[in-house]
Structure 1
Amino acid sequence: MALTLLSTTLYLVLTLSPSLLSSASQETNFLDQKPTAYEILGDYNFPKGLLPKGVVGYSLDITTGRFSAFLNGSCSFSLEGSYQLRYKSSVSGYISKGKLSRLEGVSVKVFFMWVDIIEVLRNGDDLEFSVGIAGAGFPIDNFEECPQCGCGLKCGGDKRKVSKIRSNPFVSSS
Structure 2
Amino acid sequence: MFTKSLFPNPFLKSKKLLTKIRCPNNNMSTTQQIGIFISLFLATASPLIATADGGRTTPLTAYDVLQAYDFPVGVLPLGVTHYEINRATGKFIVYFNGSCRLSTEGSYQLNYMSKISGYISKDKITSLSGIGVKVPYLWANIDEVTRNGDKLKFSVGIFSAEFGIKNFYKSQRCR
Match of 1:49 among 68, 74, 88: 74
Alignment of 1:151-170 (within 5 A): none
CA shift, 1:79, in A, is 2.8
Question: What SS does the corresponding residue of 1:142 show, helix, strand or coil?
Answer: helix
Unaligned runs of at least 5 residues, structure 1:
1-24, 151-174
Q: What amino acid sits opposite 1:146 in the alignment?
A: S
Structure 2 residue matching 1:52: 3-state secondary structure: coil
The equivalent residue for 1:70 is 95
Q: How many residues are matched? A: 125
Root-mean-square deviation (Å): 2.0
Q: Which residue of 2 aligns with 1:111?
A: 136
User: Structure 2: which amino acid aligns with 1:127?
Assistant: L
TM-score (norm 1): 0.67
Q: What's 2:111 paired with?
A: 86
CA-CA distance at 1:78 after TM superposition: 2.2
CA distance in structure 2 between the aligned counterparts of 1:46 and 1:81, rounded to whole angstroms: 20
**Matched letter for residue 72 of structure 2:** P
**Amino acid of the residue matched to residue 135 of structure 1?**
S
Out of 87, 96, 102, the residue aligned to residue 127 of structure 2 is 102
Cα distance, 1:46–1:79 mapped onto 2, change above 3 Å: same
Deviation of residue 80 (structure 1)?
A: 4.6
Q: Calculate percent identity across the aligned residue pairs.
A: 49
Q: Supply the AA of the counterpart residue of 2:75.
A: L
Shift of 1:33: 1.7
1:120 aligns with 2:120: no
Q: What is the CA–CA distance in structure 2 between the aligned matches of 1:124 and 1:145, rounded to whole Å?
A: 18
Look up the equivalent residue of 1:131 and give its one-letter code: V
Once the two structures are TM-superposed, the CA of residue 71 in structure 1 deviates from its matched residue by 0.5
- TM-score normalised over the length of structure 2: 0.67
Deviating above 6 A after TM superposition, structure 1's stretches of 4 or more consecutive aligned residues are: none
For the residue of structure 2 that corresponds to 1:34, the secondary structure is: coil
